[in-house]
Amino acid sequence: MKIEIKETKTHNVVEMRVVAKVRYWEDAEVNGQEDNNGALIPCRDGETWCPIINIDTGQITNWQKGVVADIHYKVCDQCSFSLIDKSGEAVYYQEGDYVPNVLCPKDSGYGDYIIMDVDAEGFIQDWDADSILEIFGED
């Protein structure tokens, strides 16, 4: 007889890797300039924005130092991300879905927008690591 047993396991996640397909790059300011085509924003990879965020500190670890940004990207059901544990293993993955609230600390993103300010050291202003729990239906 085969049975399926679901177990809950606790993970110590240290990093969030985001791959967001941005519809409108011009909705950001980088170093005080409107970024009309996404050429100025750090962490861009083709048509996606791919920040790697330290969960505890809110620092984007692949951010170009010295760059300041006011980000307001429409993503609309094209946000993928993984949560990485301290051994480097992805313990949770979401593909092509809504934008989680943790990526909108500046204002409500309504599941469609990434809205944040990033300072010259790559820290996301008003980062709230605990809001990641909302992804799992916890407050």
Average pLDDT for residues 88-101, to the nearest whole number? 95
Residue in 31, 13, 48, 20 with CA at minimum distance from that of residue 109: 20
d(CA 5, CA 44): 41
What value does the mean pLDDT take over residues 100-111? 95
Match 């300041």 to its residue by tokens: 68
Mean pLDDT in residue range 82-89: 96
pLDDT of residue 139: 64
pTM of the model: 0.93
Q: Any idea what DSSP says for residue 3? A: -
Mean pLDDT of the chain: 94
123-132: pLDDT as tens digits: 999 999 999 9
**Which 3 state secondary structure label does DSSP give 47?**
coil
Burial class of residue 50 in the structure, from the number of CB atoms within 10 Å of its CB (0-12 exposed, 13-18 middle, 19+ buried) = middle
Query: Per residue in 5-50, pLDDT tens?
Result: 887 888 899 999 999 999 999 999 999 999 999 999 999 999 999 9
